[in-house]
Amino acid sequence: MNLTLKIWRQAGPNDKGGLHTYQVADISADMSFLEMLDVLNEQLNEKGEEPVAFDSDCREGICGMCSLMINGEAHGPEVTTTCQLHMRSFKDGDTITIEPWRAEPFPVVKDLIVDRSAFDRIIQSGGFISANTGSAPEANSVPAPRDKAMRAFNVATCIGCGACVAACPNGSASLFVGAKITHLGELPQGQPERWSRVVDMVGQHDHEGFGGCTNIGECAAACPKEIPLDVISQLNKDLRTALKNGH
């Protein structure tokens, strides 16, 4: 198939960017979206134009490195990551607009690449269980109810990609934070730090400049790992309990 691409190009964090139009031809339906961009880049390189910078690493939907707003949808039209999106989701002659994640706490580094280190700082603020190496008790000494462990796992599958922020009209990262709060809060090991964790993580979230959640639901619809909206409810509940108890 032949496609018209409108791609955001921006030389560096402080440069002005804009949409540039490119044509690609003979794209096979079996290609992944990023392989289609590889083809474009090879073409640009040949012409002596600098290739488009975009992030990817595992290319199998698990590392969370890839991003891209594709025709106004985070990770494109399917419920998956951009690297797992295939060209059979598009038609010959389509025009595809490709933009970076847009959020103040995710500044553009170059072209389609943004800086998501705000997520790391949110984890640093409390997204962990303090258990020094060597201090752990025998693993089966504390059973964890299976349903809770399952819920913990289901939300622990968050890949930290940032699509939730990109899709949210408020630029909020509540889905990401809620997923971690729920993951750790559902496990017996996560209880001792449960209340301080939620207060600290929400504090860091706001400090980074993410917007406030108004429960619109674009995040969950964009999430490639289908993290459900109820983690935000859990986040709010834990926060309310924590504040009530003076944390």
Nearer to ligand HEM, 124 or 214 (CB): 214
- Is 95 a binding residue for ligand HEM by CB under 6 A? The answer is no
- Is 45 a binding residue for ligand HEM by CB under 6 A? The answer is no
Phi, psi of 74 (to 5 degrees): -65, 125
- Is 28 a binding residue for ligand HEM by CB under 6 A? The answer is no
Q: At what angle do helices 194-208 and 230-244 cross, to 10 degrees?
A: 110
- Is 32 a binding residue for ligand FES by CB under 6 A? The answer is no
Please report which helix (H) or strand (E) contains residue 234, including its range: helix 230-244
Torsion (CA) 167, 171, 175, 176 in degrees, nearest 10: 100
- Is 243 a binding residue for other proteins by CB under 8 A? The answer is no
Which position's Cβ is nearest ligand HEM? 214
- Is 159 a binding residue for ligand SF4 by CB under 6 A? The answer is yes
- Which does residue 225 bind out of ligand SF4, ligand HEM, ligand FES, none, counting CB within 5 to 8 angstroms by kind? ligand SF4
- Is 126 a binding residue for ligand FES by CB under 6 A? The answer is no
Please report which helix (H) or strand (E) contains residue 3, including its range: strand 3-9
- Is 233 a binding residue for ligand HEM by CB under 6 A? The answer is no
Q: Contact, 197 vs 126, CB < 8 A?
A: yes
- Is 214 a binding residue for ligand HEM by CB under 6 A? The answer is yes
- Is 211 a binding residue for ligand SF4 by CB under 6 A? The answer is no
- Is 61 a binding residue for ligand FES by CB under 6 A? The answer is yes
- Which does residue 59 bind out of ligand FES, ligand HEM, ligand SF4, none, counting CB within 5 to 8 angstroms by kind? ligand FES
Task: Classify burial at 121, counting beta carbons within 10 Å of its beta carbon; exposed 0-12, middle 13-18, buried 19 or more.
Answer: middle
Tokens 């690493």 correspond to what residue? 57
* β-bridge mates for residue 5, sequence order: 22, 96
Which residues make up the interface to ligand HEM (CB under 6 A)?
A: 214-215
